[in-house]
């Protein structure tokens, strides 16, 4: 169920408005040409949606209007369970970001009180106007491209927080449009996780 939306169709402004709040001491997003863009391309940005008390399990989703870059762990994307509190020490959030690198262009990571840990990387064929989605249900984080699961992993560090938008520096251009956040339905949690088959691991050394 959709709980909040923002199409960013309003006059250019350095502030997204009262529906949005900076997570911790990250940089901000602003409205530009009816889209949202990072205020600074050389600093990480995270803003959480403040329109309501978000359920612990939720999703955040947006159209990637423009993306660039090939730097590892850089990208534009969305966030979940972001701290609703601004200020140093509150940089706590899960996020996924995407860029145009040929491999490992999708990064799931967490900040816990500003301590950064990369959780997973994979290769996805992102193009402009794709919809990127991050779902969190229990301890499972699921990334979707246009509704199809492309990456999933698990982490238990963050219990609750808000859906939001994020940017990981550095890129030359990045923007999002038509953001929405909502609840994660039961079918998604139990019925669509990918299964890896045909495994033939290399021998180890125990």
Partner 1 sequence: MATNVYLMPKIGTGVKGDGYRAKYQVEIAAEGIPYAQADYGGEPTFLVATDNISSTLHDTIVADTTCLAVPDLDIAIGNRLTAAVNKMESWNIPASWVVADQTFRQVVRVVYIFFQIAQRLQGMGRPNLFQSGISLDTTFGSLPAGVKQDLKDVAASFTPPLDTSKVTAQTTIRQIFKGLSDQWSGAPIQFGPITL
| Tokens read off for 143 | 């990334």
Instruction: Return residues touching partner 1 (CB under 8 A).
Output: 44, 56, 72-73, 92, 102-104, 109, 112-123, 138-140, 142, 151-159, 168, 190, 193-196, 198-206
Q: Nearest approach, Cβ of 185 to partner 1 (angstroms)?
A: 16
Contact 77, 98 (CB under 8 A): yes
Nearer to partner 1, 32 or 122 (CB): 122
Nearer to partner 1, 34 or 153 (CB): 153
Q: Nearest approach, Cβ of 53 to partner 1 (angstroms)?
A: 16
Q: How many helices (H) and strands (E) does the chain have?
A: 1, 15
* Residue 190, CA distances (Å) to 2, 186, 193 in order: 19, 6, 7
Q: Nearest approach, Cβ of 13 to partner 1 (angstroms)?
A: 27
Backbone angles phi, psi at 5, to 5 degrees: -140, 160
Q: Nearest approach, Cβ of 31 to partner 1 (angstroms)?
A: 26
Nearer to partner 1, 18 or 88 (CB): 88
Contact 112, 24 (CB under 8 A): no
Q: Nearest approach, Cβ of 119 to partner 1 (angstroms)?
A: 6
Placement of tokens 């969190």 in the chain: 136
Nearer to partner 1, 28 or 107 (CB): 107
Contact 174, 38 (CB under 8 A): yes
Query: Which three-class secondary structure string do you get for 98-126?
Result: ECCCCCCCEEEEEEECCEEEEEEEECCCC
Nearer to partner 1, 36 or 92 (CB): 92
């Amino acid at each position: 169920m959709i709980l909040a939306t923002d199409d960013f169709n309003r006059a250019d402004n350095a502030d997204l408005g009262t529906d949005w709040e900076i997570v911790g001491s990250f940089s901000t997003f602003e409205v530009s040409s009816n889209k949202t863009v990072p205020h600074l391309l050389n600093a990480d940005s995270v803003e959480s949606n403040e329109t309501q008390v978000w359920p612990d399990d939720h999703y955040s989703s947006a159209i990637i209007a423009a993306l660039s870059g090939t730097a590892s762990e850089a990208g534009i994307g969305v966030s979940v369970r972001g701290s609703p509190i601004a200020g140093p020490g509150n940089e706590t959030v899960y996020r996924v970001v995407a860029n145009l690198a040929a491999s490992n262009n999708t990064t799931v990571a967490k900040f816990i009180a500003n301590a950064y840990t990369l959780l997973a990387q994979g290769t996805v064929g992102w193009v402009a106007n794709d919809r990127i989605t991050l779902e969190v249900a229990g301890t499972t984080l699921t990334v979707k491209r246009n509704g199809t699961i492309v990456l999933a992993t698990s982490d238990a560090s963050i219990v609750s927080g808000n859906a939001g938008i994020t940017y990981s520096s550095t890129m030359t251009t990045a923007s999002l449009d038509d953001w929405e956040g909502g609840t994660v339905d039961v079918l998604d949690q139990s019925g669509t996780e990918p299964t890896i088959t045909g495994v033939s691991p290399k021998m180890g050394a125990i």
